[in-house]
Structure 1
Amino acid sequence: MAECKSFIPTIEGEEHVIAAAQHIVRALGSNKNLTDDMRKILRELDTQLSSMTLVAANKKMELREIEEHLNFIQEKVTSRESEQSMIWESSPKEASEYLKVVDEVRRLTENLGSMPLNKGEENKLLCRAHSILQTAMVRLEEEFSNILIQNRQPFEPEHMSFRSSEGDIVDDVSTVSVYDNAGEDSLRRDSCSKGIEEYIIDLVNPDVIPDLKCIADVMFMSNFDHECRQAYINIRKDALDECLFILEMEKLSIEDVLKMEWSSLNCNIKKWMRAMKPFIRVYLASEKRLCDQIFGEFGPVSSTCFVETSKASMLQLLNFSEAIAIGPRRPEKLFRLLDMYEVLADLLPDVDALFSDDTGSSIQFECREGLKRLGDSVRGTLLEFENAVRSNTSTNPFAGGGIHPMTRYVMNFIKALTDYSDTLNFILKDKDGVDLESLSPNVNPVIEEEKDTESSSYNTCPMAHHLQSITSILESNLDGKSKLYKDASMQHFFVMNNICYMVQKVKGSELGALLGDNWIRRHNWKFQQHAMSYERAAWSSVLSFLRDEGISDAGSNSVSKALLKKRIRNFNLAFEEVYKSQTGWVIPDPQLREDLRISLSLKVVQAYRTFMGRHASQLDGGWHSDKYIKYSADDLQNYLLDLFEGSPRSLHNSRRR
């Protein structure tokens, strides 16, 4: 504190002036020529000067007492400065005595400050009192900080179902792109961050809260509230940083996040989702209670301290979500974006409750802006997914005519989206309630056709519309891929398999509720039509050899044995060729595979049995019929069971069954 100086006369100088004046008055009073009135005036003046002398003497004695008391207090305050130990770590009695001494110097400072500042002695004492008070405040700030640090309670997130196995960190879902061969169950929703127990914990040992409150009270009354608040904010900000470290949240800039590979980014998103709820609902709620316990009696101070303490940590978490939202809109990010959106939306009421005052309005605003950005990214990413499906091209036909990896991925993808139905329906409408359909540049016309066809059960919610759009785009893409096959029967076979798979994924799932029963009936009909088209294209030429036309002799109604023999041989060759190729084709759905085999059996075996039975008489005799009648009806029946297994075979190397 700056040294106080004064050139005002001292109290001793004042006493001399009064004594001199009193001497002059008494000398004048001894003059015998004075009138009675004049003598009376001089006597009254002498009495007043005597009173002033007494007051000055008393005042001198009072200031000496104040000085002596100040010396005592200064000794008490400064004696602690040479000691290494903290006062509140010594004993409650010492802490209480120290607070009492500090309170006394505070009162002396106030009393001296209320006196007229016209004398040098008062100024000197006031400067000393301020200096002692400041020394005491510095010590109290140190004690306050030390109590906060030494009595911090450990934060154990495993008690809130935070910790998970190492395997949870490695993602097996979102690294798959629309172009990869995703498995049936490769897309599923994470359950992390669910079921977190919500409760308030003691961040500081509750036994020391009264001590912290007492120190804060004295510092606030001494007008050192700023130093007290700043000490609290600095220490608790460090504690919140440590909490985020325990929750495995790194301090990453937006630029750092945007540069991350997807596998690392995905792990960090999972950590963010696991950290958000315990941090806000447990840690920040507990931090707010701690602020209220210490500063609750000082009005808005408690809220200000809480906001200043928690703002940096909250912005760190919100900046991460912003970086995810503004990053590339790749389809594999969609589920993580939805997870983050739901976590943040779920926590908005908690954020509003924690930051309810004007001082916290900026945090509320940032949370809502973060949620909006995530929603925008979800909409954009969903459109990007549709574009990825639409633009997915192939140069070679898919071997075996089975279910294309894209079909598996897309259907698993949209099936997984049904877990987010409510969220997506909310996101897919903008602030004016306009469906995202208006934002899509290439809405497939098939959707409009299906709307008309299925008007009785068409679900008009935004998500249903987009599922309709995606399935229609997928069908169109599959139709294009089918054209890569030169064999017309294989084209129908491929589309049949893929649409059947689509129907099976929709049946009995939430997709069915969204797409509607009419969608299922329509697509059942579609793949059955393709199955019939496949049969006609693949087996018509085979069955043509089992017709009676063209096997009679010219100009006669009798059957030509030579033509009959040729017809049977041609049938054998045609059947063997189909067998060789179509044992390499695959129908993954067992029911569809069985149904198609039964249908073929009814057509092929029955036609063969009828043809051979009708012409049995012409085949008897010395024709060596066993040379060209290679198969019985039962043989054909058994051979048809080899079809569609995905393992090419040849009848030349097959055994009779």
Structure 2
Amino acid sequence: MRKLCFNPKTASFALARNSPSSPQSLISSPTPPRLSFSEPGSVVDEDTFMEEAEAIILKWNPDSSAYAKVTSLFYEDKTEAKHYINCVNQLHQTMHSLISHSPSSHKLVLAHNLMQIAMKRLKKEFYQILCMNRAHLDPESVSARSSRTSANSSSSDCDDDFAAEDDDIRAAGDSITEVEQVSSGAMADLKLIADCMVSSGYAKECVSVYIIIRKSIIDEGIYRLGVEKLSSSRANKMDWEVLDLKIKSWLEAVRIAVRTLFNGERILCDNVFSYSDSVRESCFAEISRDGASLLFGFPELVVKTKKSSPEKLFRVLDMYAVASELLPEIESIFSSDYNSAVRSQVLTSLQRLTESAQFLLTEFESTMLKDSCKTAVNGGGVHSLTIQTMNYLAILADYVNVLSDIFPREWLPLPKSSSLPESYLYSPESDYSASTPALTVRMAWLILVLLCKLDGKAKHCKDVSLSYLFLGNNLWYVVARVRSSNLQYVLGDDWITKHEAKAKRFVANYEKIAWGEVVSSLPENPAAAEARAVFENFNLKFEEAYRKQNSFVVADRELRDEIKGSIARSIVPRYREWYNALLASVGSVRDLTVTEIVTFTPQDIENYLANLFFFGTSSSSVSSSSVTSSPLRRWS
């Protein structure tokens, strides 16, 4: 069948001479001399017509002709098919005329019998065209054709529409693919038959055949797109990884299904049954109902599962984004009252996805609040809670447009928690006006919850300087993560500036507490008489501070260099003044007095400070100018 349908020499699809866009293409086909069907205004006209109608209808009666039984009328001779359709239409008009002026005429009985035979023949032709062109009437081909053919042309203006389109299609004939040509020809034939059967009162017989064929195409298409029917119990038993794959498959499938599968079927159905709005809408509703229910009911099924993977929120947002994006197209395709259940299901799924997203974000916040404050701070470095939370929020910020719909202002106010550290106990709402997007306030709140948890962890540090370094490290990471993601657009520059300044204050407090005694051990005015006492005190303080701080962590290179540079600027210049003053009073670095008093040269101090905070590992070496006898060799 496929080879036959694609043969350009086949009379049924020889479109170089006849445009397939409308059934009226048959008018332009060369027609042999025939009797014209005139309005039945006289007994002679009716008799003449009835004879010709009986001849052509019986000729194609499969019950009385072996030839008609194995041959397709529309494939064998398009001109004959057109003549057959015109005959049936005229027969229908004749029956109405006979009912009005000769209700007891034997011709009415004959006309009724002929109409039954004709409808049976047309039903068979309709079925054959649908089956033979199943591959060529695929939704993709039909959708491609929609830009050139009106989907809702009425039968009354079919002749005029075709005449206008005929020249256009001929002019663009080279650009129309052969598949589209076959599709167009088949659609024209189907419409011609459907118009005839529906107008003659045989819509049910025509529609029943159409539904059987086309519904199977939609159901098969949904299945091939990877969307399968799942029960709630089966979905709940699935591992998250398996369910996640099905969600990803659905995200790809739903766009194709709406824009190609359902859209193509909508166009085809509108074209074939353009004669009657009610027939067209009820037919499309019937063939699409099950497939649409399976496809658009999937998000609600996912929401009902008890899976609580952190990634579930992002999948819920993905599904919401796709469904809301496709909503206008869905409402257009399923616009009639017959499809109200489909539209209702899509809206229900969107509502369930909204509720699920709100719940999952609240659950994420609750998980942060439940985190133990007594966990180790790992040398003051960035805590795993900080990394996980900021990665989560950074990804969440990529859904800013979706989140703006899901979290309206009414979803506030934010929860108040008396367990928060007093230094953080305020609502971020106070920093924003009533016009601030709810998403901005919610994100600021979630980061505030994180900072509160970090503050609680810092209070468990035995060393005060370590607690400040821990807070500085983590807040610096938070700010850096905000800058490098869409969070910067959600929170704004003011938020970044404010928290960056706070991170620097934490670092300044660390430097003051950790190295303050080292700095203060070097008076501002060097005096040779005090040299021994000053250097002994400095050596003790520096060794103590270095021993403690050398195990601390500053993973961020920029922050690490900034802290080390600041410490060096506070200690090295003042130490160099004392060192130079001592040399000036003694006269030589080789003097026994110098070696007895001085443990470190200024270069030693610079080298040791340069090796602080190296990703939490102790420095392995210092400059060759370091004093060999330095006790710091034991720690480095």
TM-score, with normalisation over the residues of structure 1?
0.69
Residue 651 of structure 1 deviates from its aligned partner by 7.4
Matched residue SS, 1:630: coil
Other-structure match for 2:167? none
Residue 237 of structure 1 deviates from its aligned partner by 1.6
Q: 1:298 to 1:347 in 2, by over 3 A?
A: same
1:151 to 133, 147, 153: 133
**Mapping of 1:429-508 within 5 angstroms?**
429=408, 434-437=410-413, 446=424, 448=426, 450-452=428-430, 454=431, 460-507=436-483
Query: Aligned partners of 2:332, 2:181: CA distance in 1, in Å?
Result: 19
Contact 2:225 2:253 in 1 (8 A): yes
Matched, 1:334 2:313: yes
**Mapping of 1:218-257 within 5 angstroms?**
218-257=196-235
Letter in 2 for 1:491: S
C-alpha offsets along residues 278-319 of structure 1, whole Å, 9 cap, x if unaligned? 332343333222222211112321122122222222211211
Q: 1:484 to 1:148 in 2, by over 3 A?
A: farther
Residue 379 of structure 1 deviates from its aligned partner by 1.5
Q: 1:114 to 1:159 in 2, by over 3 A?
A: closer
C-alpha offsets along residues 560-614 of structure 1, whole Å, 9 cap, x if unaligned? 95x66754653464255146424xx2331x3222221111112232343344455
Other-structure match for 2:605? 636
Residue 542 of structure 1 deviates from its aligned partner by 4.2
Residue 252 of structure 1 deviates from its aligned partner by 3.4
Other-structure match for 2:630? none
Matched pairs, number: 538
Other-structure match for 2:369? 390
Other-structure match for 1:289? 267
Q: 1:306 to 1:618 in 2, by over 3 A?
A: same
> Which has the larger displacement, 231-240 or 261-270?
261-270
The runs of 5 or more residues in structure 2 that have no matched partner are: 1-45, 144-178, 627-636
Contact 2:317 2:399 in 1 (8 A): yes
Residue 70 of structure 1 deviates from its aligned partner by 7.1
Letter in 1 for 2:465: S
**Mapping of 1:262-281 within 5 angstroms?**
262-281=240-259
Query: Aligned partners of 1:203, 1:385: CA distance in 2, in Å?
Result: 56
Query: Aligned partners of 1:465, 1:482: CA distance in 2, in Å?
Result: 25
**Mapping of 1:246-645 within 5 angstroms?**
246-327=224-305, 328=307, 330-393=309-372, 396-429=375-408, 434-437=410-413, 446=424, 448=426, 450-452=428-430, 454=431, 460-507=436-483, 510-543=486-519, 546=522, 566-567=536-537, 570-571=540-541, 573-574=543-544, 576-578=546-548, 580-582=550-552, 585-588=553-556, 590-613=557-580, 617=585, 623=592, 625-626=594-595, 629-645=598-614
Matched residue SS, 1:397: coil
Query: Aligned partners of 2:390, 2:414: CA distance in 1, in Å?
Result: 24
Residue 535 of structure 1 deviates from its aligned partner by 1.7
Query: Aligned partners of 1:131, 1:443: CA distance in 2, in Å?
Result: 88
C-alpha offsets along residues 375-412 of structure 1, whole Å, 9 cap, x if unaligned? 11222122122122222337642434322233233223
Query: Aligned partners of 1:377, 1:116: CA distance in 2, in Å?
Result: 70
Contact 1:70 1:105 in 2 (8 A): no
Contact 1:447 1:469 in 2 (8 A): no
Residue 273 of structure 1 deviates from its aligned partner by 2.6
The runs of 5 or more residues in structure 1 that have no matched partner are: 1-61, 161-200
Aligned CA-pair RMSD:
4.5
Query: Aligned partners of 2:184, 2:419: CA distance in 1, in Å?
Result: 62
Q: 1:315 to 1:99 in 2, by over 3 A?
A: same
% identical aligned pairs: 30
Residue 256 of structure 1 deviates from its aligned partner by 3.9
Query: Aligned partners of 1:312, 1:500: CA distance in 2, in Å?
Result: 54
Matched residue SS, 1:448: coil
Query: Aligned partners of 1:619, 1:540: CA distance in 2, in Å?
Result: 31
Contact 2:227 2:250 in 1 (8 A): yes
Query: Aligned partners of 1:314, 1:115: CA distance in 2, in Å?
Result: 50
Q: 1:136 to 1:252 in 2, by over 3 A?
A: farther
Letter in 2 for 1:448: Y
Larger Rg belongs to? 1
Letter in 1 for 2:289: K
TM-score, with normalisation over the residues of structure 2?
0.71
Query: Aligned partners of 2:97, 2:185: CA distance in 1, in Å?
Result: 35
